Structure formats: C-alpha cells, structure tokens
Amino acid sequence: MADSQKSATLTFGDTTVELPILSPTAGPDVLDIRKLYAQGGVFTYDPGFTSTASCDSTITFIDGNKGELLHRGYPIDQLAEKSHFLEVCYLLLYGELPTADQLEDFESRVTNHTMLHEQMQNFFRGFRRDAHPMAIMVGVVGAMSAFYHDSTDISDPWQREVASIRLIAKMPTIAAMAYKYSIGQPFVYPRNDLDYASNFLRMCFSVPAEEYQVNPILARAMDRIFTLHADHEQNASTSTVRLASSSGANPFACIAAGIACLWGPAHGGANQACLEMLREIGTPDRIPEFIARAKDKNDPFRLMGFGHRVYKNFDPRARVMKQSADEVLELLGIEDNPTLQVAKELERVALEDPYFAEKKLYPNVDFYSGIILDAMGFPTSMFTPIFALARTVGWISQWKEQISDPQLKIGRPRQLYCGATMRDYVDVENR
C-alpha cells in the first residue's frame, strides 16, 4: 500500500472529513475514502467504478493518454518482441523475469499439467453439439473444482501455486476441446514436445487421419496474441475474479466467473465484432460509404477495431499485432479472401484520413487479432475463448495478489437507493 503523505479536506453541511491522499509509483494520486462513511455518513457514487481504485496492485500499469502498458514495469511492446508467453506468465505470477533455470522449470511444470482428467470428457459430451465454446469453458473450468480437490484450499500457499499452474496449463486443452466438440471432431491430446502456442494450434486443427505440422510463423503469431492479452489491469473480468475471490471462493470458480464476464460483447467480443463489421462492408469499394457513415454523428454505425476506451492514443499492443498480421497474411495470402482485403484497405484509408488521426481512432489490438485468427481458420465463436485462454494468467496473478493481501475484505459495493421508502403491506383483497 502506498504511504499517505498528503490529505484532502471534504466539507459538506456541518461535517468536515480529512481524506488521506495515496501516491502510487505511477499514475494519479488516490483519495483514500475507506473511512468516509464511518466519519461522514456518506457514500461516493461512481457507476462503472471509472474513478475508483478498488485495490492496490503491483502487476500491470496503463497510462491511456501516453498509450503505455507495463507488466511489472516492462513495456508490452518489448515483451511481445523479445519474450514469449510463458516467460510473461512467470513475470506476471512472480514479479520478475526468470533466470534460464527458473524458466525451464516453469515451462516443465506447465507442460506436465496440460492433460485433463479423463472423466472430464463427460462434461463436454453433456452439452448440445452446437453449444458455444464459451458456454462450455464456463462450465468445464468451474467443474475443475470437483476433480482437483488438492488445490482448492486458498489458505495454503502451495495449493494456490498448484492451482495457478494447472489453470495456465489446462486452459489451452479446454479451449481446444470446446472447439473440437463444437465442430464434431475428436479431441486431440496435448504433446509435451511442443511449445505452448504450437500445442494449442495442433489440438485445434489436427485430426487423427493425417499428420499436422505447426507452422512456426502461425505459432509465433498465436504466442503474441496470448502475450498481448495476458493482463490489462482492473478491467471488468479481472474485477469480477477479484470480487468472487474476496468471498473465499475456490480458484476454479473465480476463473469461471472471469470467463463468464469476458463473454460479454462489450468486453471480450470486440475482435469478433470487428470481423463481423469487415464482413458487413463486404468489398473494398464500399469502404468510402462506411467511412462516411462512421463520421456521421446521426448514423448508429461505428467502426469497430478503431480507438480504445482506455487508450486515448495508439494502443501499444497494436503495433506488434500489426507486424504479426502482416507476417500471417503474407504466409497465407489474401488474394482469395475478401474480408482480409477489406481489412487491409480499411487500415490504409483510416491511417491516411485526418479525421481518424484527429480523433485518435487508430487500429487497435482487436482489429489485428481478429484478422489473424480469421486467417488461421478460427471461427468467430472461438475468438473470445482464445482471449480467455490468454487472460487466465492475468486473472490468476491478480487472484494470488489479492489472496495474499492482509487487508483483504469481501467486496461489498454500496448503492444510491432511489426506490420506495418503507410502507405497510396491504392484504390482497384490499389492493
């Protein structure tokens, strides 16, 4: 917790309250209002908690005005360029970049936990054949607590560690099995000789009838997608995980809650919405029409994949994702794919249009990740499950941090009540 060296005075009516001001290592100062109700008898009102710090954290920092995203102090573009997903997982979980021996040990532990309990296949088969992969993931991840009893005691640091490794290791297997089930293909088991991203691609796209070779360019692009989505500070799904964990819920239930929140189209469905928009545009010659509609304040149409709620500048993840998108499209070719042709032309037009530069509506990470996943052959229904797979390590890191916090209290937001005041019950015959 940051030390309080300053304070602010709040006066309302005849009441005056001194509020400590906490100064973080980065970002704006924070008014400490924990004793506001006890001393002043009032609450604060902040729908969406957009001006409220719900916790103190050392994991991720975002400066939206500068277009800055740091994991434990390291810029996301450096991590995406020079590191890889499992190394970033270690960084998020433990606070520092690993030594070579530490990384080898960590990768070995993750690799050796990728298989699911065989009986869990019965859960997949209990869903309708056309069930959405996110529905399956919510159910299966929550059900893990029924199979892994030795890692549900949150008061035991070792069990918290085992649960963390299990979730990171098994999430690609769960996501791939959800995908295979939704398309009616047999499950593919993980292989210990493949890296994290390659293993996931193989479990998604290989079939027993023939050998599948993972293309290293696609594996690298997949790894970057995982890295760029690993954590994003106190967003809706992360806050959901923290709120669930504040009650003492087991880690599998907390992560299932995070997946459920991420499923919402306002959160995890942005890249799917972007791809659907590209398909709505249809052909490059219709782009001017849709650009004009995007500029028209009276038209409900909005360009998806441009700009970001947090970043008021360029999304720092987008530069790296664009590089991967270019590599993937060059490898696979886009001549016969009208959606990708529209994407490339829309990107060019938007970057050259002064209107978008003035409004800082640059292509964001969702624009490029949707293009990459579509080019790889993933249906839009798998976009959010892949997001959930990548974000799992962020959720777990935030969960572990909160569980270890000596100030941990169960979450209990207040409200501005606007309903009826107390009134007497009226018997039904008198209504």
Pairing relationship of beta strands 30-31 and 15-22 according to DSSP bridges: antiparallel
87 token code pair: 């190394």
* C-alpha distance across the termini of the chain, in Å: 56
Q: How many residues belong to the chain?
A: 431
Strand ranges of the sheet holding 74-75, from the earlier edge strand across to the other edge:
60-63, 68-71, 74-75
CA 410/CA 247 separation, integer angstroms: 5
CA 334/CA 182 separation, integer angstroms: 27
How far CA 106 is from CA of 71, 170, 203, 252, in Å, comes to 18, 14, 21, 20
Of 366, 374, 424, 427, which residue is the catalytic one?
A: 366
Opening angle at CA 61, ends 59 and 63, nearest 5 = 175
Of 308, 315, 405, 427, which residue is the catalytic one?
A: 308
SS3 category, 310: coil
* Catalytic residue check, 267: no
* Catalytic residue check, 366: yes
Token pair 């360009």 is at which residue? 303
DSSP character at residue 148: -
**Phi and psi at residue 16, to the nearest 5°:** -130, 130
CA 11/CA 20 separation, integer angstroms: 14
11 token code pair: 């006066």
Residues with catalytic roles: 308, 366
